[in-house]
Structure 1
Amino acid sequence: MKTTFYMSLLLAGLHAVAHGQLLPSHHNGHDTNEHKHHAHEAIACLKLVPNNADFAFQFFKEITLEAPNKNIFFSPVSISTAFAMLALGARSTTQTQILEGLTFNLTEIQEKEIQEGFHNLIHMLSHPEGGVQLNMGNAIFLTEKLKPLKKFLDDAKALYQLEAFTTDFNNPMEAEKQINDYIERKTHGKIADLVKDMDPQTVMLLATFVFFKGSWEKPFKPEHTEEREFFVDAEMTVKVPMMYQTGRFDLYFDEELSCTVVRLHYNGSATAFLVLPAKGKMKQLEETLVKETVQEWSEHLFQSLVSLYFPKFSISGSYEITNTLNKMGIVDVFTDQADLSGITGTPDLKVSKVVHKAALDVDERGTEAAAGTAAEILTLSIHPTIEFNRPFLMLIFDRDTNSTLFIGKIVNPTITS
């Protein structure tokens, strides 16, 4: 009988504040040594980028199949990081399944390179440029009886900034409070009540979280926000506060996928792609979206003066993702076949379930706009209007590492969870 451990993953809190003209990221005031260090880290995590992106879009496809016509919001980088850390303590087939489930080809990249890559990725994401706040972290909560190997704890601390805590799972309410308080504190209140109904048999819980707060390069003006209609589907319309501004935006019309893409930069190194499929074309987009699609959008963007309407909304996604990961080939770790002997030295440990929760706020706020916004003067000229008044996708990337921080599908912006 395997002892189970509960992976209460991925707590992603995102607060996005609104807009921007697309400018390349600038690095100011860094000395040469810092540049060299940055470059080394970038090279180390560069190897992970294609795999992490493949994992992100595969996971998105699975989640959309499980929850059709619902809001979706999750952090792929959070899920990847948690399972890469778990792979540190996995052995044999269990470890292979985890790494291959994260879409790594183990004939092309070694486990050591993967671990170093994630270590550098976490470091780079945790030290972003000014204007973006991004906190990532990992914590392990252990029953007193379970003694993890010193090597596992040392490696996990060094590579993943892991914090370890002793927890009394025999008292589930007390354990839940300890874990939820820790997560809530670390995500600045964005993720609350992550774990509930804990099994008293739990002996270890692994939590991974990411908190993001970004301000648009040019915020929307609150006085321009007005209630407008949002068409959830053919039968249902809701009223939403719709933000508005006229300006030069990076655009692309993807004729093949019948969607409009608008790219907005945050201050710092984060970028949002807002993707508005034509009516009835969301399913086609969900089924075909891959990293190459986003790459193509990036390469074909052009600047154009438009009137942009974008809803102000808050949503969160909460998922029990064990089945999703099963479909992606991560199977043994959840069964009595699990080999997590690298964590405790004995093979009697398995993951009981994996919980992922993510939250997103989008509103007008941001840093003060730079003086002299020429676009404001051009509001009388004739230009197209793009209004996000039907279901759309929102993809948030970190430009420095090319990491997919968050993927969201907003079907109904008035439903918060």
Structure 2
Amino acid sequence: MMKAMVPLCLLVAMLHPNVYSLTQTDHHTDQPEATDTQEQHSLEVDPLESCQRIIASNTDFAFQFYRQATTQEPDKNIFFSPVSISAALALLALGSRGSSQAQLLEGLAFNLTNIQKEEIHDGFRQLLRLLNRPGSQVQLNMGNTLFMDKHLKPMKTFLKDIKKLYRAKAVSSSFQDSTEAKKEINDYVKKKTHGNINQILEDLDPNTLMVIVNYIYFKAYWENPFNIKGTHKDFFHLNAKTSVEVEMMIRDGFYKAYSDRKLSCKVVQIPYKGDVTALFILPNKGKMKELERVLTKNTVYKWERSLQRRRMELRIPKLSISGTYDLKRILTNLGVTDVFSNWADLSGITGNPDVKVSKATHKALLKIHENGTEVAAANSIDFLPHSAPPIVKFNHPFLLLIVDQYTQTILFMGKIVNPAEK
């Protein structure tokens, strides 16, 4: 028998149907997300300690995904949210069984002899709770929503678990009217990303049974903004032969930085207000591919340990870049094959093994401006000596990591090859 297909998209995931009818269900109306106050009543270990168990694997996955993305598009901008992809796929693993589940978790860089599945899911529960922590100066909202066809009957335990572990809620939808369902999902993502991502779904098969939407929205301001009056036109060198004109921001101030002579690159850490920092990595001209080959979590840990505060004149291009990825292609290369095949077992979702993932998509967007991730006029002055500082100019391809320092989670990762590319 042919299996149903599950387009899984990130910002989205989808389930495609089977040949026999699915009985009507009445228990997947909008549900409130689990609140921190509810969680605090349960006896539990320190949330930071619990989420630390999954951070190393999440970081390994981030670099594995980056390698796949850059192999597929070697000379293109790259930008994605590894933690967003990990959370959506771990949620899918929660509804998977057998080798489908093992491949998903191993594809997310978990060694299942060293960590229990329950520890992984609890790690994500605590991580999502800490990333969405109230009172932070960074606006970071991340969550999952399942749009389920009104004829699909999900298991109550699955609905309960996704709410408790992944801050996910289920919404009843009618996929037979695919135009209206597509609009409903796109409008939802647009709202959750504050208008930044208008269309995550371009088409929607009327046979779809479920769409899993994972969204992440990030807005933050530099601890020390760039002065808008200093921004000027300059050239960014895509390669030895080609340049484009960009708006170059400029700031003379103190930053934590490190020159890695062995890897021929400079690393500059720019703090946002709150617990999030951006790590800008500038390889020497022509050295990007060598740097990419040795890019691992240990390399980044070494850089972070080696950073020292120093004065510099920093020049960084304003930019707005996005990345859209076929997750099915990348995950298949990482050994996650069963969920996309007739061997798929997603019986943890419906109690029925006859569905599979047919499509998986991720989309992420970044804007960098003088005041952080959104334009706003502001001035900040460091008291500087009258000598001229060294200039660090990001005027050729560079790497970027945006890291939540509190949990040591890579929120976003990218390579800026052409800041002028829309």
TM-score (normalised: structure 1): 0.90
Match of residue 118, structure 2, among 104, 112, 117: 112
What letter matches 1:5 in structure 2?
A: V
Other-structure match for 2:75 = 69
Q: Distance in 2 between matches of 1:38 and 1:111?
A: 17
Other-structure match for 1:10 = 11
Distance 1:233 1:129, change over 3 A: farther
Q: Distance in 2 between matches of 1:105 and 1:191?
A: 34
Other-structure match for 1:90 = 96
- 1:316-331 paired onto structure 2 within 5 Å: 316-331=322-337
Q: Distance in 1 between matches of 2:260 and 2:183?
A: 48
Match of residue 137, structure 1, among 139, 143, 156: 143
- 1:303-382 paired onto structure 2 within 5 Å: 303-365=309-371, 373-375=382-384, 378=385, 380-382=386-388
Counting matched residue pairs gives 389
Match of residue 57, structure 1, among 54, 60, 63: 63
Contact 2:226 2:380 in 1 (8 A): no
CA root-mean-square deviation: 1.7
Taking every aligned residue pair, what percent have the same amino acid on both sides? Answer: 47
1:48 aligned counterpart, secondary structure? helix
Residue 175 of structure 1: how far off its partner (Å): 1.4
Residue 167 of structure 1: how far off its partner (Å): 2.1
Residue 169 of structure 1: how far off its partner (Å): 2.0
Q: Which has the higher contact order (CA 8 A, sep 6+)?
A: 1
Q: Distance in 1 between matches of 2:124 and 2:226?
A: 35
Match of residue 269, structure 2, among 254, 263, 277: 263
Residue 199 of structure 1: how far off its partner (Å): 1.9
Q: Distance in 1 between matches of 2:275 and 2:413?
A: 17
Other-structure match for 1:201 = 207
What letter matches 1:320 in structure 2?
A: D
What are the ranges of 5 or more consecutive residues in structure 1 without an aligned counterpart?
12-33
Residue 288 of structure 1: how far off its partner (Å): 1.4
Deviations 1:104-159 (A, max 9, x none): 11111100000000000000000155320000010111112211000000100111
Contact 1:218 1:368 in 2 (8 A): no
What are the ranges of 5 or more consecutive residues in structure 2 without an aligned counterpart?
13-39
Contact 2:227 2:380 in 1 (8 A): no
1:374 aligned counterpart, secondary structure? coil
Q: Distance in 1 between matches of 2:413 and 2:351?
A: 37
Contact 1:218 1:369 in 2 (8 A): no
Other-structure match for 1:241 = 247
Other-structure match for 2:28 = none
TM-score (normalised: structure 2): 0.89
Q: Distance in 1 between matches of 2:44 and 2:393?
A: 39
Other-structure match for 1:159 = 165
Match of residue 105, structure 2, among 90, 99, 102: 99
Deviations 1:285-340 (A, max 9, x none): 11210000110001111121111101111011111110101111111011110000
Q: Distance in 2 between matches of 1:354 and 1:198?
A: 12
